[in-house]
Structure 1
């Protein structure tokens, strides 16, 4: 069986979905699937690349910039056509939102294949960029055409599926497959770090937050909560357009000595941060936070979590309130501070919730579980004669 994945970006481009997509491709390749990935080079670099990683052929189209989050890549449709011709996939696995996935609609060769569309998130119409809302009227017909043509649609949680207006007409062919993570790489002395980036400010509870520094992540709310919580010090990992504003807010709140902005870190440093932390927080304020891969990373690391009860988001599925974490109302700094203080004061509670979170990761959110379920869907999309042909061509 050969599967061509079409994504937006690929590691080392930062992002939970990018990392998940790469891990899923590797897990499928380990199960004997021939896997290729077509995505865009990071706009910071922009140059086309081709390499093999974990038995996955990765093709990155040149990307010149992003316009309203859409990669600008004139070469993408030509590369898609070439890969279909040369790689000869049995099906396409399209990761959206991604405007470049729409090129499959215009490709006769692509339309002859079954499609699995992995719906990572809706286009956020409540985003603080009027241009995105205006452009959606142009985007939506292509989005709906893609969903109409899809053989199967996959979303990460029933909560998100049922709240998605874009998926409303296609729920009968939408499957729920939670995202998954494999075991953390073994690291000797993971709790000991010599990295200047991994530095815990203050002497209180070691609070960790990870994510792109965008407005919808709610890190400004977390800083306001931290100002009410002298019992904790925050390590904030990530970069983004709100970096300067968040640093200014920390100065305004006079908590610079209890916040460390680590910026982007590599995988080893990130693993050290999870190993050393005592509590994880995801304070997102909007449904743009569709699932929260970082929550699974925290659960895997045996960390209790505090997150927000975002209506229609998968966060409320990942975090079982009162079991492996606490959910508070989005944007409520006082409630967030109260939750942090509760964990700071109770080491036994942190241990109990952390153990429950790790058990929940093992039961619901492993990469093996996700890959096996995806493989079942692939097989269901291919008729028996295609199975035999795919087996004959398998590497």
Structure 2
């Protein structure tokens, strides 16, 4: 097959969507497919570029800026048309949310192809940021047009599908395909990454508002003899550093920024506990939870209604879930995790759950079944 993925960004840019897109694309290459990815450059890099990563052809469109998480690339329509013309895909795999993908609606050559829309997350109509709420009024008609045109829609969990207003009309053509990650060689534990002794907490993600890292910092102030390694960067970095100073925990938190894969593996291996304090359904699944489970690391995560987090983490079995946004409750839950036996039990159970339900092989198999169903007349996908 010849598969064209269209998304926001791609490796080396980090993020759950980017990592899963890369994983699927490289899995297709290993299955013998020709695979191309069309994405944006990071904000501020205006030149187009092409390269190859592990057998995947990657085309990057220059990006002026990325207001409201939306990359602005004036050349994207032209480059999408060029990719369809030159690469000659058998199908389009479109990763949303991403307004640039809407240009496919206007491109006759793209409309003649089968479409899979990979629904990674809603744009919440009740977002705390008023700018997003206004922007969504203009975004929604195009979003719905994409969903109407799609042959199949992939959602990452039944819970997210059930809660999604945007997907409500299209449930009959939605396939549930959870995210998955591959096995990797375990990293060498790096306890030196933590700035103080005691219980070692790890959190990983973009430093954005919906991630709830401010709640985690307030909880850390209530948990003595514990330190936090926070991996990631984003628009809230300065605000979080100021909060750490005001809470008096500056000496117990390390802001690592973006790190390489070896350092991240060492962080997972050296931590005692992984924490995902996200606040709302902006956290649609939590790919980092799988990374923690793969490393046999117990997790504490937010019990977000309508998110896939509760399908990944089994409360009281592979970790503990806590009401989002409550620093006292989060602190009390972290305190429960001081018990080494409890952490070991949760870590082992989490590893088993990842192996059973959330491997890349299973996610890629289900996705490939959808591809085959679209391209084989009379055949139906069996995800």
Q: TM-score, normalised by structure 2?
A: 0.96
Alignment match of 1:277 (pick from 271, 276, 279): 271
> How far is 1:185 from its partner?
4.0
Q: Distance in 2 between matches of 1:245 and 1:192?
A: 27
d(CA) in 1 for partners of 2:207 and 2:69?
15
Partners of 2:4 and 2:371 in 1: how far apart?
Answer: 12
In the other structure, the counterpart of 1:353 is: 346
Question: Using the alignment, how far apart are the partners of 1:185 and 1:91 within structure 2?
Answer: 34
- Please name the residue that 1:191 is paired with: 189
Partner of 1:289, secondary structure, is coil
* Bigger RCO of structures 1 and 2 (CA < 8 A, at least 6 apart): 1
Aligned-residue RMSD, C-alpha = 1.4
Q: Which residue matches 1:87?
A: 87
- 1:382 aligns to what? 375
1:97-149 residue CA offsets vs partner (Å, 9 max, x unmatched): 01111111001111111100000000123333212111111111110000000
Does 2:117 align with 1:117? yes
**2:241 alignment counterpart:** 247
The answer to whether structure 1 residue 368 and structure 2 residue 361 are counterparts is yes
Indicate conservation of the 8 Å contact 2:186/2:265, yes or no: no
> How many residues matched?
379
Deviations 1:324-344 (A, max 9, x none): 110000011111111111111
Equivalence for 1:389: none
Question: 1:268 offset after TM fit, Å?
Answer: 1.2
Please give the alpha-carbon distance, in whole angstroms, between the structure 2 residues aligned to 1:5 and 1:176: 19
**Partner of 2:166 in structure 1?**
166
Aligned pairs for 1:147-166 within 5 A: 147-166=147-166
Would you say the 8 A contact 2:155–2:174 is kept in 1? Answer: yes
Conserved 8 A contact 1:231-1:341: no
Alignment of 1:1-395 (within 5 A): 1-185=1-185, 187=187, 190-192=188-190, 199-344=193-338, 346-384=339-377
Q: Which blocks of at least 5 consecutive residues in structure 1 are unaligned?
A: 387-395
In structure 2, what is the Cα distance between the partners aligned to 1:192 and 1:260? 13
Alpha-carbon shift at residue 385 of structure 1 (Å)? 9.6
Q: CA deviation at 1:207?
A: 0.5
User: In 2, Cα distance between the equivalents of 1:140 and 1:44?
Assistant: 27
Greater Cα offset, 159-168 or 60-69: 60-69
How many Å apart are 1:88 and its aligned residue? 1.0
Instruction: State whether residues 201 and 260 of structure 1, in contact with CA within 8 Å, keep that contact through their aligned partners in structure 2.
Output: yes
TM-score by length of 1: 0.93
CA shift in 2, pair 1:186/1:278, >3 Å: closer
Q: 2:231–2:257: 8 Å Cα contact kept in structure 1?
A: yes
- Deviation sequence 1:134-179 (CA, Å, 0-9, x none): 1111111110000000000001000000100000000110010000
SS in 1 for 2:206: coil
Superimposed CA distance per residue, residues 280-306 of structure 1 (whole angstroms, 9 cap, x where no aligned partner): 000011111111111111001100000
Shift of 1:52: 0.9
Long gaps (5+) in structure 2? none
Q: CA separation in 1, counterparts of 2:33 and 2:378? A: 17
Contact kept? 1:97, 1:121, Cα under 8 Å: yes
